Amino acid sequence: MARTPSLKAPGVFERRGTAWQVKILRRDAAGVQHRINRTFPFLTEVPAAHPSSRVSRFHEAQAFASAERASLRLERRARPDATESQTLGQWLDRYEREETPKKKTADREASTLARLRALVPDLLARPASALRPKDFVGTEANSLEAIMDANHYATATIRRYLTTLGHVFTVARSRWGYEGAHPLRGVEKPSANDERDRLISSKEWEAIEGAWRDTEPATVAALRWLRWTAARRGEAVALDWADLDWSTSPPTAHLKNTKARYDAPAQSRHVPLWPEAVAALRPLRGKAWPTEGPVFGGLKPDSLTRAWARACERAKVEGARVHDLRHTRITELAPALPLQVLARITGHREPATLMRYYNPTGKDAAAAGRAFTSYNEKLQAAKKKGNRQRIGKMLKAGRTEAPPSG
């Protein structure tokens, strides 16, 4: 008799082709271990509709396993006084202990949680079960969104903070036994336009260079290094002296564990250190280049952002973010490097994303126009002369030399 297709369910196993066995091993909230083991024998020579058939007994075993798991979940739920009465601040503390260390972006998330504690202490002092969507989003004066907006946080940053808090509530419901409402589920977060075309001009950079004042040398070095490498802020603070290779010309930096999706494997890449990038590191050199330890002394990403904001304010440079340094350098490099090479250096996996960082100025556009005009004139001249070989070479190349960066 032909066997029915393979049947699968969590906690249900087929035993030697004669029975289904349910095995469940879990602990309840008190730490007591529950071991469940039950067998459901079946007959192989009866139709599938028979009560003792393999299929029928499988469904019995599956239903039994589901009921036992549901029962254990109820036993594992924390008492109301252990969750519903706790404050959001207590939840943040527990989340940072239990969940944050598991993440690739643990340092960044820890920094986010620290900023939340400083920004909205009153909100965090309230019971988590009493919070509602209006406490987080909207224009009411005491909402998290309004407070962050008043403190000049970018919309994308506000969205990130709201996403983090939303995950805290999700974890509370799925792992801590919280049964109350999720105030951020389905809530429309403020819309953020992530595309920017803000570049740091030579004049602005010169003004910023004159506005460091009492800024720590390591912080100044890190911001200068970002300016000339097109690296990300998180990559700078994670850089180790062991990641620098001085044997190449120019030297290179190996950026490990760079930005990727949370569930994706870690990425890494090598970036060249142009003379300006090497010069940025020289104040940290000492008698010789170090070979180990954090290059910028263990700086936190937010420390760089705050130092940048202070320098821009002193220099009277408005609307500039640390990430605009990356836009600026990529725009300078784009005309001189093939797309695939530039993408490897900048760490972009999608050409469309890379192109969002290339923001040519009117001067760059004019240079491109001159280059194309020159190319077209040469092509037309070759056609008039009937120089087939010259025409073929030009059409095969399909491009002129890259215009110089502006």
Examine residue 305 and state whether it is found in any structural domain, yes or no. Answer: yes
**Nearest Cα to Cα of residue 221 among 307, 315, 111:** 307
pLDDT at 224 > cutoff 90: yes
**Nearest Cα to Cα of residue 108 among 259, 242, 218, 244:** 259
pLDDT confidence of residue 18: 87
Pick the residue with more confidence: 90 or 401? Answer: 90
Q: Percent of the chain, pLDDT > 70?
A: 80
pLDDT at 356 > cutoff 70: yes
Q: Kindly write down the DSSP assignment for every residue of 14-57, as one continuous string.
A: EETTTEEEEEEEEE-TTS-EEEEEEEEE-BSSS-TTSTTBHHHH
What is the number of domains present in the chain?
A: 4
Domain of 388? 368-397
Residues 92 and 167 in one domain: yes
pLDDT confidence of residue 314: 95
Pick the residue with more confidence: 222 or 86? Answer: 222
Span 327-352, mean pLDDT? 84
Residue 72 CA to residue 64 CA, distance in Å, equals 12
pLDDT at 402 > cutoff 80: no
How much is the mean pLDDT over the chain?
81
pLDDT at 401 > cutoff 70: no
Residue 43 CA to residue 19 CA, distance in Å, equals 8
Residues 349 and 227 in one domain: yes
pTM greater than the 0.75 cutoff = no
**Nearest Cα to Cα of residue 175 among 267, 73, 264:** 73
Residue 300 CA to residue 163 CA, distance in Å, equals 21
Residues 35 and 134 in one domain: no
**Nearest Cα to Cα of residue 313 among 233, 218, 211:** 211
Examine residue 182 and state whether it is found in any structural domain, yes or no. Answer: no
Tens-digit pLDDT profile for residues 146-170: 998 888 888 888 888 999 999 999 9
**Nearest Cα to Cα of residue 169 among 159, 158, 180, 160:** 180
pLDDT at 301 > cutoff 50: yes
Residues 351 and 253 in one domain: yes
Span 76-105, mean pLDDT? 77
Residue 40 CA to residue 46 CA, distance in Å, equals 15
